[in-house]
Amino acid sequence: MPSDFVILEPDTTSHQHRSRLLEGMAVAVSQKGYADTTIADIVREASVSRRTFYEHFSTKAECLVALYTAASHNALKVLREAIDPGRGWEQQLEAGIRAYLGCMAANPVLLRTLFVEILHLGPEGLAARRHVNQAIADYMVGVVNTPHVTPQVAMAVVGGIHELVLQAIEDGQVDELPVLTTTATALVRAVARA
């Protein structure tokens, strides 16, 4: 699994174990789906003990939420790093969106796990998804900084872009996510100039 999609934590034994558990979760879920993945599968893939799992997570659902959060925040970090605050938002928009979509396309198996499997958790998965979408929408409001891009509008744009990503996943075209840059950029521009 490429480390550019999952945040690897500082190099301490505890953080190494946590990172390995997140990677183990990603591998296990990609092979079996969330419903059929067991804690035994996760610890086997992570090469740690069951006790180590419970030192970090209470349930497999908590582990999946942690994986989702870490990977999503890493994708947002990639987006932030592609933006140059010294330039206008319109000049940086395409680069930021291309970097964000490229980061997600770099690991199609993990992407499917995060966009599809997280919803199997019900309210807990939905809350994690909304929290991440809110962070991206808040960032958009700050960068675009026009009266037309309200928090609600930004959330709608993020939701729209993520629906395009989900459609690409369903169509087996994750490697083509960067192609959506033009559509996503046009959407943000249209909304910001409304």
Do the beta carbons of residue 154 and residue 140 sit within 8 Å?
yes
Domain ranges of the chain: 13-192
Place of tokens 């789906």: 33
Mean pLDDT of 58-68: 95
CA angle at residue 25 from 136 to 71, to 5 degrees? 20
- What percent of the chain lies above the pLDDT cut of 90? 62
Largest CA distance in the chain: 55
Do the beta carbons of residue 192 and residue 148 sit within 8 Å?
yes
Residue 68 has pLDDT above 90, yes or no: yes
Average pLDDT, the chain: 88
Select the CATH number that applies to the domain covering 13-192 from these four: 1.20.1740.10, 1.10.10.10, 3.90.650.10, 1.10.357.10: 1.10.357.10
For 80-93, what is each residue's pLDDT tens digit? 899 888 888 887 88
Mean pLDDT of 59-67: 95
The answer to pTM > 0.85 is: no
Do the beta carbons of residue 191 and residue 179 sit within 8 Å?
no
For 121-150, what is each residue's pLDDT tens digit? 999 999 999 999 999 999 999 888 889 899
Confidence of residue 11 (pLDDT cuts 50, 70, 90): low
